Structure 1
Amino acid sequence: MKKLLLALPMLLVIAAGCSPVEETKNTITYVNEATEYANEAATFAEELPAMAQDAVTNPETAEKLESTLKDFQAQIEEFNQVEVPKLMEDLNGQISAQNEKIQAGVEDAITAIEEGTFQPDILQNSELLNSLQDIQGIYENIQKLGNE
């Protein structure tokens, strides 16, 4: 069964007209980028709740939170530019859908910080944290593909 699963991507690559070596390289690059992005998302998700709570009463933390949110927006944009191999298109589509939710939540939070109306529930109501957790689950599916 494992041999069939290993052969399937190669057959898909050949059928698509791309060289197997190039497609394998693209897949490895994508998995590496997804790993890095998932790790960044996990760190961001861990730090965000405490920082958000402190940002309500501490202007310095509010500035740091805004900077952190903008940095993560840049990371999302960078990940969105990664070339997606055919084998990963479905999983990447799932990540993209979660990224859109994260982007919306980040935008709402940045706007609230800039307007001085930020409250931690803005992040929870935007489903930002749930989407970050969903990305971790999608990444685990990517890892499973590599282990089969």
Structure 2
Amino acid sequence: MMDQLTAFENLDIRTLLPHSGTMVLLDRLLHAGAEELLAEVTIRADSLFCRQHGVPAWVGVEYMAQAIAAYAGYTAQQRGEEVKIGFLLGTRRYEAACAEFAIGSVLQVQVHRLLQADNGIGSFECHIRASTSTQQLASATITVFQPVDAAVFLEGSTE
């Protein structure tokens, strides 16, 4: 169930993501709220990871992770803060109803925050659906980590 949402017409989703260039896999932000975000991606022949007929379904994990990153960027901007990097810690129960997302498919990626701890760890319930139906194509629970200062965190991880 979607919480109180704001719809977006002209917001460039890249402003919410710490990714750049071809690593931005999502096309646009549809809705965002205090606990959820809905993004969209169109599978094209030139999409990153695309094979002959489409994008392998395992890439859905990255679509979900980027939707979570967009959610984090959206909530940071709502607080007047900068967009920061985060880390995918793990995925539980990733299930895909297809082997690949076909070229021409328009996918909606929905993420719902289940938990956000003070130490930066969060958990999200995620779903990918075709925009033209309610058919669920993939689902998972994803755990992420966003340190207060990523540079300090990464520096400390090499010692």
TM-score normalized with structure 1 length: 0.26
Structure with the larger strand share = 2
Structure with the larger helix share = 1
Larger radius of gyration: 1
TM-score normalized with structure 2 length: 0.25
Higher RCO (Cα < 8 Å, 6 or more apart):
1
